[in-house]
Chains A and B, each alone.
Chain A
Amino acid sequence: MEDEQSFSDICGGRLALQRRFYSPSCLEFSLSCPRITLRSLTAVTCTVWLAAYGLFTLCENSMILSAAIFITLLGLLGYLHFVKIDHETLLIIDSLGIQMTSSYASGKESTTFIEMGQVNDVVINEAIYMQKVIYYLCILLKDPVEPHGISQVVPLFQSAKPRLDCLIEVYRSCQDILAHQKATSTSL
C-alpha cells in the first residue's frame, strides 16, 4: 500500500513524502528533497567563468580558462556525488530495527541500520537553528551501562528538514510500531 503527500521544508521548498505500508510490522517513509534547479546551476557556472575570464584578461594565460572548465565539471560531479541528497528513506521493521538511507543525486546510497535492541525511543525535538526554532525527528539510543539512560541522539531527515506536520505523520507511525515492539518484548 503506497500513498504520497506533499509537505514543505523549513525554508519553504516542496517535499514529497511517500509512505509504503508493507505489513503491520514494516513501514517505509521516503522524503524527497527539492531538486537542483537549472537557474542555480547556470548562476554558479556563469560566476565561475566570469571570474576566470577576469583573471585571464589580467594574466593573458589561456590555461586559466581550461582550468575553470575543469573546476566547474569536477565541482559539479563532486557536488552531485557527495553533497546533494536526492531522497531520504526511513525503514522501520518491527523486532529488527530502523534503517536510514540517504540517496545522493549521482545514485550513491549511504545506509545506517540501528538494531531494535539499541533503540530507546523516537521523539520530536526542538532546536534553535540560526534565527529559527525548528523541529526534528530523532532516535534515542540506549546506554549499554545504564538501562534507562540515553547514550546518543541520532537525528533523522537532516537534509530534507521537513516541518512539524510531516514529522507528526512519521512520528505517529513509528510510535505504533515501537509500542507493539515494546509490548512483545516485555511479554517474553
Chain B
Amino acid sequence: MGLVSRGAAEAGLGAASAVDRPGPPDAVPNPTPTPPAEGADPGSSRPSMVLKAFFPTCCASADSGLLVGRWVPEQSSAVVLAVVHFPFIPIQVKELLAQVQQASQVGVTVLGTWCHRRQEPEESLGHFLEGLGAIFSHKPWFQLCRERGSKSWSCKATHWQGPASPAASGEDQVMLIFYDQRKVLLSQLHPPTALPNRQAGDTTASAGGLAAVFDTVARSEALFQSDRFDEGPVRLSHWQSEGMEASILVELAKWAAGPVCLFLACLLSLISAASACRVFKLWPLSFIWSKLSTCEQLRHRLEQLTLIFSTQKAESPAQLMRKANMLVSVLLDVALGLMLLSWLHRKDLIGQLADALIPVADHVAEELQHLLQWLMGAPAGLKMNRALDQVLGRFFLYHIHLWISYIHLMSPFIERILWHVGLSACLGLTVALSILSDIIALLTFHIYCFYVYGARLYCLKIHGLSSLWRLFRGKKWNVLRQRVDSCSYDLDQLFIGTLLFTILVFLLPTTALYYLVFTLLRLLVVAVQGLIHLLVDLINSLPLYSLGLRLCRPYRLAAGVKFRVLEHETGRPLRLLMQINPLPYSRVVHTYRLPTCGCHPKHSWGSLCRKLFFGELIYPWRQRGNKQD
C-alpha cells in the first residue's frame, strides 16, 4: 500500500515538469483481464513460446523498479542489465537510455517491471505496474516478481496489444537465467572454431545466442557509470551499485605508464638504430652474427621489448594478452638469470669453471686421439686399407694438435672472458643458455671440421662411384635434360673407368667408417645444442600471464557456459544459473603461444636419413639464407 502511494505520489510530483505524462495510475486504461493461462492461448495457433530472461544475480535483492536491458528477438531472450528504482521521471529515464544507446551502440530499452515485496500484491499495484507498460511500450512486457526472503519467483510476459484493441494479449512462459554480471562483463569468449565468413564489423545481431549476451553486457559500460548513490535523476542498481570499484595501485600504474613507456621506447629505438648501423653489416661481422644464436635471441628480445613499450594502445584483447605475456616472460627470464648469476657468484663457480675448462678441452682432445689411433688400427675387427688409413689418421691428428695449441694460447684470458660472459646472464636466462650453446659450438669446432672433411670425402666418393657405375653399364648423366642417357664409350675410357671404379669400391669401407664415426660425434653435439634450444624456446613461447589468469581468475578466459537448474516448484517459472566454463589449460597455451625465432629443424626423418646416406652436409638450424659452408 505504502509503496503504491509513494510511487504514485513521486511520479505525480515529477509530472509537473514532464510533457507527455499520462494521468494518475487509475486513469491508465485497464488491459483486458486475461486469465493467467499457463499453456498455449487457445485463440492462437502457434505453440507456446518460451522466453528467456537473463537476470543479474546482483539485482535479485534490489528494491522494486523498472527493468532496463536489451531484447534480442532472434533468440527470444531479454538481457536485463540494471534496475531503475522509484521514484523516477519517465522522460529522464528515456533520455538516459538514449544517451547510453548512442554511446554504446546497444539497443537498451525498458523491458518491464521488477517487484520485490513482502506479501501478495494488491490490485492497484498491479494496475500501476501495467500502467507503466503503457508509458514505456515494449513488446513483450516482462513483470518479474519476488517475495522478500523466499525463493519463490514469478514472471509474466505479456504482449501488449494497445488500448484500442482489447483482443487477447497472449502470455508466454518465461525461463529465468541468472548470471553474474561482473564475471560476464570481464570474461572473453573463445569460440571453438572461427567461422570463415564472419566479418569483424558485424553487429551482435548475427552472433550466436550466448555470445550476444556476453557482447551486450560488455558493451554497456556506459550504463554502469551511474549507480544508486549518485545524485543524478535516475537511480540504477547493477553490479557496481555498492559503489564503483577501483584500485589505487592500478590507477597510479596507469598514470605512470605513459611517461615510462615513452622513455623506454626512445631508449629501445636508440639501441635498435645503433645495432642497425653500417659497421655491423660488413662481411666478417655479419657472418658471425648470423651464426651465433645469442645474437638471434638478443634480437628477438629487443623486438619483444619494443612491442611491449610501444606507445600505441593495444587494439584488441588478443594483442593486450600478447603484450602482457611478453612482459611476464621477459620479467621471469631476467629473474631466473639473476638467480643463476647469484648462484654462480656465491659458489665462485666462474673461477672453477675457468680452471676446469682447459683440462676438459685437453681431455676431449686426448679422447679423440685415442679414437683415431683405434681407427688407424683394426677397428672392431674390420680390415682397413693401410695407406689411406694412415693418411687420414695423421691428417686428423695434426688438426687436433693445432687445436690444442690454440686453446693453450688462449688460456690466460679464459677467466676474464667467462666472467664477462657470466654478467650477460642478467639479461635473462635465455641469453645465458644461448651463450652456453654457442660456447659448446665453439669448443667442439674441431669435431665440426672433422665431420665436414669426412662428409665431403665420402660425398665425393659416392658421386664418383655412381657416375662410374653408370659408365660400367654404358650410360651417362645428361646435364641438359637432367636424366640418364645411354652413351657409347671408347675402349680406353671404359678401361680407365673400370679401374677407377674398382679402386673407389675397395677404398669405400675406410672412408665410410671415418664418415660414420665423425657423423655420430657431430650428431651428439647437435643433440645437446638442440636440447638447449628447446629449453630457450620453451621460455620464450610459454604464455605465463594467460596461464596465471586461468589459474587465478578462470572466468576471464571462457570456453563457454554451463547451466545449473535451481530449486524448482511446480507452477513457478524454471530458474537456471549460468556459470562460465573456463578454458582448459591446453587450449590456453595453444591460443596464446608467443611466436619464437622459428629455428626448428626443417627436415623430416626420411630426408635426414637420405642426406646422411649420400654424405650431404646437414645444417640443423638454418635460420636465414642458404649459405654453403
Contacts and interface: CB of A to CB of B under 8 A. Distances in A.
Nearest to A28: B565
Interface stretch (A68-76, A87-95, A128-136): A87-95
A117 B209 contact: yes
A91 B209 contact: no
A96 B563 contact: yes
B581 interface: yes
A113 B175 contact: no
B581 A96 contact: no
Contact of A184 (B47, B197, B574): B47
Given A95-B76, A96-B175, A113 B49 contact: no
A133 B563 CA distance: 34
Given A99-B562, A112-B560, A180 B208 contact: no
Interface stretch (A19-27, A32-40, A168-176): A19-27
Nearest to A116: B209
A187 interface: yes
A113 B568 contact: no
A120 to B, nearest CB: 15
A42 to B, nearest CB: 34
B560 A187 contact: no
A25 B574 contact: yes
Contacts of B568: 22-23
Contacts of B46: 184, 187
B50 A95 contact: yes
A151 to B, nearest CB: 9
A101 interface: yes
Interface residues of A, number: 28
A58 interface: no
Nearest to B74: A188
Most buried by A among B50, B210, B565: B50
B549 to A, nearest CB: 20
B276 to A, nearest CB: 47
A183 B47 contact: yes
B486 to A, nearest CB: 56
A115 interface: yes
B574 A22 contact: yes
A113 B577 CA distance: 13
B565 A26 contact: yes
B344 interface: no
Interface in A91-116: 91, 93-97, 99, 101, 111-113, 115-116
A144 interface: yes
A145 B560 CA distance: 22
B318 interface: no
Contacts of A28: 565
A183 to B, nearest CB: 5
Given A91-B565, A93-B563, A115 B210 contact: yes
Contacts of A145: 197
B194 to A, nearest CB: 11
A26 B574 contact: yes
Contact of B576 (A20, A93, A115, A117): A93
A116 B195 CA distance: 17
Contacts of B210: 115
B563 A184 contact: no
Contacts of A23: 568, 574
B563 A144 contact: no
A91 B563 contact: yes
24 contacts: A20-B565, A22-B568, A25-B173, A26-B175, A28-B565, A91-B565, A93-B576, A94-B50, A95-B50, A95-B75, A95-B175, A96-B175, A101-B562, A111-B562, A113-B581, A144-B195, A145-B197, A180-B47, A183-B47, A184-B46, A184-B49, A187-B46, A187-B47, A188-B76
